[in-house]
Amino acid sequence: MAPMGRLLMAHPRIGPAFQALFKRGHWSDAPLSPHQRALCSVAEKLSADPRLVGAEDWGSLHEVGLDDEGCLEVAHIVGVFNHLTRLADGFGLRVDPARLAAASGGPPLRRPSSALRSGASGGHPPATARRPRRREASAGSPLD
Mean pLDDT per segment of 10 residues, for the chain of length 144 residues? Answer: 56 63 71 87 91 95 94 92 87 84 82 59 48 50 43
Residue 26, in any domain of the structure: yes
Residue 22, in any domain of the structure: yes
* pLDDT for the residue numbered 97: 86
Q: What is the pLDDT of residues 56-84, one digit of tens each?
A: 999 999 999 999 999 999 999 999 988 98
* pLDDT for the residue numbered 1: 52
Alpha-carbon span 25 to 78, nearest angstrom: 20
* pLDDT for the residue numbered 71: 93
Q: What is the pTM of this model?
A: 0.55
Q: What are phi and psi of 116, to 5 degrees?
A: -70, -40
Residue 39, in any domain of the structure: yes
* pLDDT for the residue numbered 100: 80
* pLDDT for the residue numbered 112: 75
* pLDDT for the residue numbered 75: 92
* pLDDT for the residue numbered 54: 95
Residue 59, in any domain of the structure: yes
Residue 68, in any domain of the structure: yes
How would you label 31-63 residue by residue, b for 16+ Cβ within 10 Å and e otherwise? eeeeeebbbbbbbbbbeeeeeebeeebbebbee
Residue 119, in any domain of the structure: no
* pLDDT for the residue numbered 129: 47
Whether 66 contacts 74, CB under 8 Å: yes
How many domains would you assign to the chain?
Answer: 1
Domain range enclosing 82: 3-108
Whether 15 contacts 8, CB under 8 Å: yes
> In a 10 Å sphere around its CB, with 0-12 CB exposed, 13-18 middle and 19+ buried, how is residue 22 labelled?
middle
Residue 88, in any domain of the structure: yes
CATH number at residue 61: 1.20.1290.10
Alpha-carbon span 64 to 72, nearest angstrom: 15
Alpha-carbon span 69 to 99, nearest angstrom: 33
* pLDDT for the residue numbered 105: 80
Alpha-carbon span 112 to 121, nearest angstrom: 15
